[in-house]
Amino acid sequence: MGRIKAHAVAAGVIVVLSLGGAGTLGAKEPEGVVIRNKSVFRYAVSADTIEQQSNVQYDEMTRQAATKHALLPPDNVQTQRMRAIANRLLPHAAKFNERAKDWKWEINVLDSPQINAFCMPGGKIAVFTGILNKLQLTDDEAALVMGHEIGHALYEHARARAGKQMALGATRAVAGLIFGQLGDLVGAGAGSLATLKFSRGDETQADLIGLELAARAGYDPRAGITLWQKMSKASQGAPPQWMSTHPSGETRIQTIKQHIPEVLALYEKAKLEQK
């Protein structure tokens, strides 16, 4: 009886291995970067809750900025430039998050010397003139910045952070994160969904998503190298707000170099299609 069971188990293993091998041989390698799965902690908080609060905070932020004459108008050259870049990136966002198809995307430029940019949950984007002017960003580099920030929203890093805090019992911290009042973002900054500090793992994910979004939109992913060289130079030993808890510039440059081959063909294809 034991021998029969042994043969049956062995036969089962052979069948499983055969099917697995056939599936592997027949599978097509995915295009673009390979990123680990989203954090399970995001399930502790409703996506609708995070996105609705994001809308409230973003509306309040842009209202405050307009009051201070710090919200660049739609006909401003930088606003038009950033919206044009976003229009090329966003058609590719749904690959990383199906909800992105239904987001009401907004892109604004704030007149502030901060080297900063962000994309809040639900697709609310702000780019500061400081990062554009001080770093003299090319369109390719600006696309990498915007793609990175969009990556945070697509991979729901804010939602996951709130969920993790909730799972750890930090009720007051979660309440402050989700329902807290928005401060003066144009000035000293504020604790809100726009100013979260993400983990290094989150930052790497956002870098890779941004790399692929830029490539698919026809922006040269190799600009990520010059972008982070500029970032490192601007930091002068003290990371600007946009880099705060991020991996070091050299680490990011090495990561980008490692993954450029995964997206270069996408970039070249996009450039041909745009001709």
Q: What is the set of active-site residues?
A: 149
Q: 126 forms bridges with which residues in the sheet?
A: 108, 118
In the sheet with 117-120, reading across from the earlier edge strand, the strands are 106-110, 124-128, 117-120
Transcribe 51-112 into DSSP letters: HHHHHHHHHHHHHHHHHTT-B--TTSHHHHHHHHHHHHHGGGGGGT-GGGGG---EEEEE--
Q: In Å, how far are 16, 153, 180, 271 from 53, measured between CA atoms?
A: 48, 14, 9, 38
Take residue 210 and report the two structure tokens written for it.
């941004």
Take residue 202 and report the two structure tokens written for it.
């989150």
